């Protein structure tokens, strides 16, 4: 079974925990898009791991982790992450990095900051990891790929050519690009460390799928941060949606059997951009505190709001979800009555779906239904029937409103705080 795990909202849906949970039976776990803008926290064997580039499946020694062609990989961050992960758990699964993945270099990070500054009040609120500029180079056909990066002669030539071309761009900002020698000397060291991992990821993956191995594709960010389908321009520069798993890996759509859509029991967003159900009041603050809603990558406070099933319905179709994973139900405990947006209104008219343009996204009025909330600690629940009746009703409401069955519920950060409702949708 080849399965994709996708963020159904604006990212940070706790996909890392779910990938870790599901991947103990996977033979391959694949990151297909994005780079170290992502941040996945996994609590395993009493230790907390934070992943930005490595697939969360790397903690399972029998699993091969693939960083696929659709990714942009920062070598400095990857080397650090491999070292930090090994320091906590010496035995990791095998890691293979696609020769076609693009490399994030220091000039991408500088340009991310310069471009954000130039946007003034229209800032995207990027993670400042150089992700947008690295994808821009890819589209402009001037990016450096992993296969070139780990070949010292090729890297030297490509880096020189790219830095020469970047002079013009940096001069528009009244700046100069980083110096060739500084970048080359630092990064050839990373290339030496990364070289053993760079391989023919696409062939390995295609062979694995053909042989019927269990393959899990791990999405980063979320559907509404997708470059085409999200709240453009307040989006990331890649394709977090399920279709991105095909583009970014070399596996075709008919080889994907399942798509799990991960959503929080409420909504959050980091960075700027439309967020119809945002709560700017004490309730929003209470969710932020109870959920410790601060970014894994940047530490920024996340914007918090009610669950938005109007948006989730779009997400379900855009990704063809076979099952929903509802996370962080525990965070809503003690909040009192819960609002859920079921539809949007724009200029007094009800919309059939979501608007595709930010200037409209920013003006929609959510139409809410009120559900009864619940109280108390629920982290010890191990079955749906252990949860308060109101939590069960909340889950049933979401399933019905989105039109997708709930496959997994998550009620805390630990692996054991996970309730599987539909093993068939999780493991086939």
Give CA separation, 196 vs 127, 357, 358, in Å.
29, 44, 44
CA atoms 294, 308, 41, 64: torsion sign: negative
The token duo for 390 is: 């109101």
CA 54, CA 218: separation in Å to the nearest integer? 10
CA neighbor of 70 nearest in space, from 161, 151, 134, 166: 134
Does 9 interact with ligand IMP (rule: CB under 6 A)? Answer: no
Q: 3-state DSSP call for residue 50?
A: strand
CA pair distance 273, 356, nearest whole angstrom? 13
Residue from 40, 52, 60, 102 carrying the catalytic annotation: 40
- Distance (Å, rounded) from C-alpha 273 to C-alpha 275? 7
Q: Is 230 in the site for ligand IMP (CB under 6 A)?
A: no
- Does residue 236 bind ligand IMP (CB under 6 A)? yes
Of residues 104 and 198, the one with the C-beta less far from ligand IMP: 104
16 binds ligand IMP (CB under 6 A): no
Interaction of residue 258 with ligand IMP, rule CB under 6 A: no
Q: Which is nearer to ligand IMP, 124 or 398 (CB)?
A: 124
Residue 315 near ligand IMP by CB under 6 A = no
Q: How far is CA 405 from the centre of its chain?
A: 22
The set of residues, in sequence order, having a beta carbon less than 8 Å from that of 84 and lying 6+ positions away, is none
**CB-nearer residue toward ligand IMP: 158 or 264:** 264
**What are the structure tokens assigned to 121, written together?**
């009040």
Q: By CB under 6 A, tell whether 231 contacts ligand IMP.
A: no
Cα distances (Å, whole numbers) of residue 296 to 73, 83, 292, 301: 18, 18, 10, 10
Nearest to ligand IMP of 233, 252 (CB atom)? 233
**Shortest distance in whole angstroms from residue 61 CB to ligand IMP:** 26
Give the integer Cα–Cα distance in Å for 129 and 112: 7
Stretch that binds ligand IMP, among 23-31, 86-94, 118-126, 210-218 (CB under 6 A): 118-126
Degrees, nearest 5: CA angle 335-234-296:
55
Q: How far is the CB of 183 from ligand IMP (least distance, A)?
A: 21
Nearer to ligand IMP, 295 or 373 (CB): 295
The number of residues that bind ligand IMP (CB under 6 A) is: 20
3-class DSSP assignment, residue 421: coil
**Could you say which of 63, 98, 110, 126 contacts ligand IMP (CB under 6 A)?**
126
Among 223, 237, 277, 315, binds ligand IMP (CB under 6 A): 237
Question: Among 42, 71, 92, 131, which residue sits at the site for ligand IMP (rule: CB under 6 A)?
Answer: 131
Nearer to ligand IMP, 6 or 395 (CB): 6
Which one of 60-68, 217-225, 358-366, 374-382 is the stretch in contact with ligand IMP (CB under 6 A)? Answer: 217-225
DSSP class of residue 177?
P
| CA–CA separation, 257 and 217 (whole Å) | 11
- DSSP class of 233: T
CA 224 to chain CA mean position, Å:
11
Is 243 near ligand IMP (CB under 6 A)? no
**12 catalytically annotated:** yes
Which of 39, 199, 219, 291 is the binder for ligand IMP (CB under 6 A)?
39
Shortest approach of ligand IMP to residue 331 CB, angstroms? 17
Q: Which residues bind ligand IMP (CB under 6 A)?
A: 11-12, 37-39, 124-127, 129, 131-132, 220-221, 225, 234, 236-237, 270-271
Residues with catalytic annotation? 12, 40
């Amino acid at each position: 079974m080849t399965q994709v795990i996708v963020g159904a909202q604006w990212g940070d849906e706790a996909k890392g925990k779910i990938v870790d949970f599901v991947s103990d039976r996977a033979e391959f776990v694949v990151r297909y898009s994005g780079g170290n803008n992502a941040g996945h926290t996994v609590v395993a064997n009493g230790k907390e791991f934070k992943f930005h580039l490595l697939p969360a499946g790397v903690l399972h020694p029998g699993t091969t982790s693939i960083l696929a062609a659709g990714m942009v990989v920062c070598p400095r961050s990857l080397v650090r992450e491999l070292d930090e992960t090994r320091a906590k758990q010496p035995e990791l699964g095998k890691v293979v990095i696609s020769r076609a993945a693009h490399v994030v270099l220091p000039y991408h990070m500088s340009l991310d900051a310069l471009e954000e500054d130039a946007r003034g009040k229209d800032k995207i609120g990027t993670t400042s990891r150089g992700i947008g500029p690295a994808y821009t180079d890819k589209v402009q056909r001037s990016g450096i790929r992993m296969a070139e990066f780990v070949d010292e002669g090729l890297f030297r030539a490509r880096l020189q050519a790219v830095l020469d071309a970047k002079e013009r761009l940096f001069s528009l900002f009244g700046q100069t690009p980083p110096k060739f020698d500084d970048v080359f000397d630092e990064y050839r060291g990373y290339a030496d460390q990364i070289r053993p991992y760079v391989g023919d990821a696409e062939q390995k993956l295609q062979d694995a799928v053909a042989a019927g191995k269990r393959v899990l594709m791990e999405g980063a960010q979320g559907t509404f941060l997708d470059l085409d389908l999200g709240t453009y321009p307040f989006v990331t520069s890649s394709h977090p949606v399920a279709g991105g798993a095909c583009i970014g890996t070399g596996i075709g759509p008919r080889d994907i059997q399942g798509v799990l859509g991960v959503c929080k029991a409420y909504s959050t967003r980091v960075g700027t951009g439309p967020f119809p159900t945002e709560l700017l009041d004490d309730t929003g603050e209470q969710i932020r505190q109870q959920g410790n809603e601060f970014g894994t990558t940047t530490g920024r406070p996340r914007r918090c709001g009610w669950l938005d099933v109007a948006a989730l319905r779009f997400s379900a179709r855009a990704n063809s979800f076979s099952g929903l994973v509802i996370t962080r139900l525990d965070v809503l405990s003690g909040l009192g009555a819960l609002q859920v947006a079921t539809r949007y209104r724009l200029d007094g008219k009800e919309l059939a779906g979501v608007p595709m343009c930010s200037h409209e996204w920013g003006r929609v009025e959510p139409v809410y239904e009120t559900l009864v909330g619940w109280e108390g600690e629920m982290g010890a629940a191990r079955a749906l029937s252990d949860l308060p009746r109101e939590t069960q009703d909340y889950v049933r409401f979401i399933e019905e409103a989105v039109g997708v069955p709930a496959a997994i519920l998550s009620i805390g950060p630990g692996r054991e705080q996970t309730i599987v409702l539909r093993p068939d949708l999780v493991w086939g």
